[in-house]
Homo-oligomer: A and B are copies of this chain.
Amino acid sequence: MYWGFAFDDARCDSGPLSGRPAQFNAPGGQVQRACETDSAIFHDRFAGALQDIMRRFRASAPPTQVSRFAHAHRAWLSGVAWQIGNQAAGRMPGLDDFLVMRLLSSGGEPTFALLELATGARVPDRDLHRPAVRALTEMAILVAALDNDAHSLHKELTGGQADQNVYTVLMQELECPLQDAVRAATGLRDRVLLRFIELHDRVRPTAGQDLATYLQGLRYGIRGNNEWGLRVPRCLSCGQWPDEMDDTLLTWADEPSDTRPGPVEGAPAIAWWWDADLG
């Protein structure tokens, strides 16, 4: 996780390559190869550190789990490249495009691919690739990604840059001020989380032990990401380090802000999460 954050800060979100896709695609490809291949030699401090991490994965998990992580890693980098491309072209994506991009660029894929490596669960192929399980994974990633956008909102606003996040996207999409975009984003996030809970509760009872561990990991991921994001200086960047034991920062709504069922409007690329025959 820390490797990912460091790489993200130095090479993706900010740093000299953040608006230069022609420059990012090549080192992005090299780092991905470093993730796959121990014999590769790249003159990049991040590549070497990633190879060290991957060696540990290979020493402790079967090739299937390591391959899944590598695929997830590529998915992440492809989203980063997409984001950098938008930035370079000065293009603010529409909502649907943004959600697909954010699913990837948020780094949720490799984060959740760590679940098997961390817990020792070995989810069978036929379980992991089930559309319902895939939908649950994507929904958990999106909820966490939108929560991250919330955590970073203050920092991004004070930074003065109109970066691509769910708020700037919705302000453009709905032609509305920030306050309305915040409400719309929270509603969207809540609807996805509600669908996650609904589908989870349908899938979990018949899940085998390994799949159950994985699904529980997705749930912990959503919650843990919030607890972490509300404290971490990386997102806050307001010069003040919250007390680790200070719980007052964590405020939870009593109920979802939007309980409308069915697919979110204007987001066909994720509409299948609400398919009736999932699960």
Contact partner, A85, options B23, B66, B67, B268, Cβ 8 Å: B23
Given A22-B21, A74-B74, answer yes or no on A30-B89 (Cβ-Cβ < 8 Å): no
Of A24, A37, A75, chain B has the most CB atoms within 10 Å of the CB of: A37
A203 to chain B minimum Cβ distance, whole angstroms, is 14
CA distance A240 to B26 in the complex (A): 37
Whether the pair A25, B81 counts as a contact (CB closer than 8 A) is yes
A269 within 8 A of B: yes
A262 to chain B minimum Cβ distance, whole angstroms, is 12
Q: How extensive is the interface on chain A, given as a class?
A: 35 or more
Q: Which of A97-124 contact B (CB under 8 A)?
A: 97, 100-101, 104
Contacts of A38 in B (CB 8 A): 272
A210 to chain B minimum Cβ distance, whole angstroms, is 13
| A interface residues, Cβ below 8 angstroms from B | 21-26, 28-30, 32-33, 37-41, 62-64, 66-67, 71, 74-75, 77-79, 81-82, 84-86, 88-89, 91, 93, 96-97, 100-101, 104, 125-126, 129-131, 134, 263, 268-272, 275
